[in-house]
Structure 1
């Protein structure tokens, strides 16, 4: 099965200068825990609910703080025509729960989550969940 068959394709994007309040509100509207940050038709970062908690609230930053100051600039993504087993393995290895999905022209077309994969392929989701649950990973907040 390919990622495009299980990803969420209704993706909202915020701008780097949007406030974290705006990003959080959009997360509520979309019922999601990650918000892609785009500028000039390019994906320049992502903000997760954890980024808001750890990089903003815990650091004493207010709700008018720009998203660019708390976003992860290293955007890890996958392609919409990749096999979900491959993406699942990458999620496990990288210890992340969600990943932006781009087409081969590198335009954002969706988001794939651990839940999306588990609903489509329980075995692939289980393997990814076990990997993601291990300590460490490139996006530690320390």
Structure 2
């Protein structure tokens, strides 16, 4: 997992979030308000919920982010995390400790690189199905 995670603020603009993503070479930022994880924003959220819906670069992160934050715990079994990613059709999950503090983000690629290739491939098969509850066009 990636441990050095930068956060976005819900009152930042889409342009500011996109700039931070570019600087980090990342496609996702957790969104934090008052030391609490309140959402996630992806480059795809900015494209689909922002640009495609005629919201300009000054649109607030809170208008574009996903507010349902799915996560895993840092002590969870990798197979359980992969199964959850497949079922929920998501490629990245914030990783929390048992005090619900963000400690990192894990991606499908991270898990594949740890020797869980077959499980990651199976998860990708589930993730790649079109639509699903977490489609960016549903908000």
TM-score of Structure 1 vs Structure 2, range by shorter chain? over 0.9
Which residues of structure 1 form unaligned runs of 5+?
A: 1-6
Q: In the alignment, is residue 135 of structure 1 matched against residue 130 of structure 2?
A: yes
Deviation at 1:12, TM superposition (A): 0.3
The question of whether the paired residues in 2 share the 8 Å contact of 1:95 and 1:131 is answered with yes
Greater relative contact order (Cα < 8 A, sep 6+): 1
Q: For the residues of structure 2 that align with 1:84 and 1:21, how far apart are their CA atoms?
A: 34
Q: For the residues of structure 1 that align with 2:112 and 2:133, how far apart are their CA atoms?
A: 23
1:14-33 alignment runs, 5 A limit? 14-33=8-27
Matched position secondary structure for 2:2: coil
Q: For the residues of structure 2 that align with 1:21 and 1:42, how far apart are their CA atoms?
A: 22
Q: In the alignment, is residue 122 of structure 1 matched against residue 117 of structure 2?
A: yes
Deviation at 1:134, TM superposition (A): 1.1
Please list every run of at least 4 consecutive aligned residues from structure 1 whose deviation after the TM superposition is greater than 6 angstroms. Answer: none
Deviation at 1:124, TM superposition (A): 1.7
Deviation at 1:101, TM superposition (A): 0.6
Aligned match of 1:55: 49
Aligned match of 1:112: 106
**TM-score of the superposed pair, with normalisation by structure 1:** 0.93
**TM-score of the superposed pair, with normalisation by structure 2:** 0.95
- Pairwise CA RMSD of aligned residues? 0.8
1:83-98 alignment runs, 5 A limit? 83-98=77-92
The question of whether the paired residues in 2 share the 8 Å contact of 1:84 and 1:124 is answered with no
Matched position secondary structure for 2:90: coil
Aligned match of 2:4: 10
Which residues of structure 2 form unaligned runs of 5+?
A: none
